[in-house]
Amino acid sequence: MKNTIRNFCFFCVVLLSCVSLGFSQEGLSLPEGLKKDKIPFDLVNNLVIIPVEVNGAKLSFLLDTGVNSTILFGVTEADSLRVNNARPVKIRGLGEGEGVVALESKNNNLKVGKATDTNHSIYVIFEETLNFSTRMGIPIHGIIGYDFFKRFVVRTDYVSKRLTFYNPSSYKKKKCLKCEEFDLTFHNNKPYMNINMSSLSRVKEITLLVDSGSSDALWLFEEKDVIGKDSKKYFEDFLGLGFSGNIFGKRSKLDKIWLKDFSMNEVKVAFPDSSATENVKFFEERDGSIGGDILKRFTVTMDYRSKKMVLRKNSKFDEPFYYNMAGLTIEHDGLEVVTELTTYRNFSFGSQSSSNNGTTSQAVTDVSVSTEFALVPRYVVVEVRKDSPAHNAGLQIGDEIAVINGTPAYKRKLYELNTLFSSKIGKKISLKVKRDDTFFKVKFILKKVI
C-alpha cells in the first residue's frame, strides 16, 4: 500500500491506498432500470455533505474526490459497531504528529440515495479526539470518495445544492457551449488536472489534485514562484487540523489562474509548512490541490470512466476571494443550557351592557410569561491570528463568543460565522465575549489581509 495525500476543510488525510484505477462490477449501484438519482446536500465551508446510511444508521459524510477509501470516524470503543474481518492500518496526514490507527471493516451495507452496496469496505477510526464536527458546526461522521465516483457520472450543482448521479451505461453527455472540459489523469485513484497560474509576472502550468474535500481555493507546495522575498505578499496562519496534528503555513494570493478559457483574479493560495509534510510521500508530478472555494463557482460533472471533468460557471463565479478578515478560528465546543423568557398574549372578547340596554364587545388581553430552557451550541475561539483585528482587540484562545452583532451566537450556524468573518471589507463586528465567567464587549472592523 502506498501513501497518498489530500487536504479538506480543516484537516488532511493520508490513506494507505490500494489498487489502481479500475471499475469492477462490485460496489454501489442503482436499482435495475434506474438511470439516475438526485439527492440534496448541505454546503458547509465550501464542502459537500451528503446523507449516507451505514448498516441502517443515517449519517452525514463529506463527499471527497481526494480520498481513495470510505472512512468512518468519531466513534469510540464503547460504540455498538460491528467490525467484520478487521485488520489494523495506519493513517497519517498533514500535521505535527504520528497519525492514527484504524481498522478496515468489510461486508458493510452502504446506501447513498437509491444506490446500495452490500459488501462495502470502511476504515473505522477509534479516536475520540478526531472530532472534526466541532470545526464544521454540524455532525460529520465520515468521508466517501473514490468508492462513489468510480460507479457513477456525478454532477454537483453548488447553487441548487443538488447532487445528481447517473448510471454510466445510460448517461448521454449534452452539448454545452458555455462549458469547459478537462482531461483527468489518475494516480492512486485520485483525479489530477492541469491549469495555468500567474504570479511574479510569470505564467506557469501546474498539476493539481482535484480535491472537492478541501475548503480552500488552492494549496501549493512550492512558494518561491508566488511569494519570492516580499514579506508583504503573505501572512503566517493556522491552516487546519490534520490527523497528525495542527497545520500551519503561509497564505498568499495568485495574480491570476486559467481553467482553459475561465480566468480568475486574486485567487487565494496556501502553503503548508515543511514540518507538516516531511513524512508524507507525494505524487511526483503534483504541485498542489484545487479545492471547494474554486469548485463551488461551477456546476461540476465528474466522469471517472471517461477521465473527464466538465465545468460550467454559476452565479458564484464572480465572488471575490476574501480571507478570514477577523483572524478568528472558532469551533463548536459542546452544548450549554440557556434560559429564554417567552411572552404569550391571549386575546378574548367579552360583552358589556350599555346605558340604552345595548351590548358592546370588548377585547381582553391575558399576558403570561413562560420560562423555557434549551440546549444550544457553544462557540469557542481556538486560534487567533497574530496582528489581526481580533488579536488587536484583545481576543484570546478559549474565549467564548456569546453574542455577535446583537444576536446570540447560538442562533447562527458555525459556517455562517465563518462566512461573516470573510464577507465584506470594512464590516463592523461587535462581540460579547465570556472569559473566566466574566463578560465583556469587543469591537473591530474587518480589514483586507493581502
C-alpha cell at 425: 471589507
- Higher confidence at residue 312 or residue 56? 312
List residues bridging with 220 in a β-sheet.
288
Read off the pLDDT of residues 91-105 as tens digits, 9 standing for 90 and up: 655 555 556 677 888
**Type of residue found at 386:** K
- Cα–Cα dist 42/296, whole Å: 12
* Class at the top of the CATH hierarchy for domain 328-336+374-445: mainly beta
- Higher confidence at residue 38 or residue 174? 38
Q: Please check whether residue 106 is in contact with residue 118, taking contact to mean a CB–CB distance below 8 angstroms.
A: no
pLDDT of residue 21: 44
Given this chain, do its domains 2-170 and 328-336+374-445 carry the same CATH topology? no
**Of 120-129, 179-188, 366-375, 420-429, where does mean pLDDT reach its minimum?**
366-375
Query: Where does 179-313 sit in CATH, by number?
Result: 2.40.70.10
**Separate counts of helices (H) and strands (E) for the chain:** 6, 32
- Cα–Cα dist 126/262, whole Å: 43
Q: Structural domain boundaries of the chain?
A: 2-170, 179-313, 328-336+374-445, 337-373
Q: Please check whether residue 62 is in contact with residue 49, taking contact to mean a CB–CB distance below 8 angstroms.
A: yes
Close Cβ partners of 317 (under 8 Å, ≥ 6 residues apart):
262, 297, 298
What stretches of 20-69 adopt beta strand conformation (E)? 36-40, 42-44, 47-54, 57-63
Q: Please check whether residue 222 is in contact with residue 206, taking contact to mean a CB–CB distance below 8 angstroms.
A: no
**Type of residue found at 196:** N
C-alpha cell at 203: 505564467
Read off the pLDDT of residues 116-162 as tens digits, 9 standing for 90 and up: 999 999 988 876 656 667 777 788 889 999 999 999 999 999 999 99
Give CATH superfamily name and number for 2-170: Acid Proteases (2.40.70.10)
**pLDDT of 348 higher than 60:** no
Read off the pLDDT of residues 381-427 as tens digits, 9 standing for 90 and up: 988 999 999 999 999 999 999 999 999 999 988 888 888 998 889 99
pLDDT of residue 363: 58
